Amino acid sequence: MLERFYPDLYISSAYKIDFQSYYDAGYRGIIFDIDNTLVCHGAPADERSIRLFSSLKEMGFQMLLLSNNKEPRVKMFNDAVKVQYIYKAGKPAKKGYLAAMEKLGTDTDNTMFVGDQLFTDVWGARNAGIFSLLVQPIDKKEEIQIILKRYLERIVLFFYKRKCMKEGKKYLAG
């Protein structure tokens, strides 16, 4: 039952993902969450995120920001990285993920999702059939509703870790 929340890969940071290896494996689209995935909650794009998006564009990736936030927040971040975006996405509903792939011109075989929350980001990506990468949140300071979800996430991650260990896989990469 908990497997529906398990990421395909759990990595310490979006900035430690070997995107070139995913490009070489045939991935062409990346859907990103913003808050606590790329920058602290509510923060504008910083130099690190701008460099990341620039290098991913050079590799040939198509990218899209998929956020449950309102447009002003998403647009503020996107003004610096200049990719497509969908705001008020309704994650974990798969509708936003499908719309993202349509905008990117990709499909479930060549699209990946990067986010920091199991019950919105990963679950939605899995429902849409997209390869999911869970990253550790950048900042521990979060809104109360997210803090409550993090307690439940710890339970899921405990069983995910156990499964990884049984299968001889690394639990947390990077």
Instruction: Report pLDDT digits (tens) over 21-35.
Output: 999 999 999 999 999
What value does the mean pLDDT take over residues 107-113?
98
Listed as own residue / partner, the contacts of 79-86 with beta carbons closer than 8 Å and 24 or more positions apart are 79/45, 80/44, 80/45, 80/49, 80/50, 81/45, 81/49, 81/50, 81/53, 82/53, 83/53
The residue count of the chain comes to 174
What value does the mean pLDDT take over residues 126-144?
88
Q: Enter the tokens of residue 147.
A: 């803090």
Q: Answer yes or no: is pLDDT of 165 > 80.
A: yes
What value does the mean pLDDT take over residues 149-158?
86
| Per-residue confidence (pLDDT) for residue 110, from 0 to 100 | 98
Bridge partners (DSSP) of residue 62 are 29
- Cα torsion at 174, 51, 69, 11 (round to 10°)? -10
CATH of the domain spanning 2-166 = 3.40.50.1000
- Cα torsion at 74, 75, 77, 83 (round to 10°)? 100
Q: Answer yes or no: is pLDDT of 114 > 80.
A: yes
Q: Answer yes or no: is pLDDT of 121 > 90.
A: yes
The rounded mean pLDDT for the chain is: 94
Q: At what angle do helices 71-81 and 47-59 cross, to 10 degrees?
A: 70
Q: Enter the tokens of residue 15.
A: 């900035």
Cβ partners under 8 Å of residue 32, min gap 6: 14, 38, 63, 64, 65, 66, 113, 114, 115
In which element (H, E) is residue 84 found? strand 84-86
The pTM of the full predicted model, rounded to 2 decimals, is 0.93
| Per-residue confidence (pLDDT) for residue 6, from 0 to 100 | 94
Give residue 80's identity as a one-letter amino acid code.
Answer: A
What value does the mean pLDDT take over residues 103-112?
98
| Per-residue confidence (pLDDT) for residue 139, from 0 to 100 | 80
Q: Answer yes or no: is pLDDT of 73 > 80.
A: yes
Highest mean pLDDT among 16-25, 135-144, 156-165: 16-25
| Per-residue confidence (pLDDT) for residue 142, from 0 to 100 | 67
What value does the mean pLDDT take over residues 148-161?
87
Contact 62, 44 (CB under 8 A): no
Domain chopping of the chain, boundaries: 2-166
Q: Answer yes or no: is pLDDT of 144 > 80.
A: no
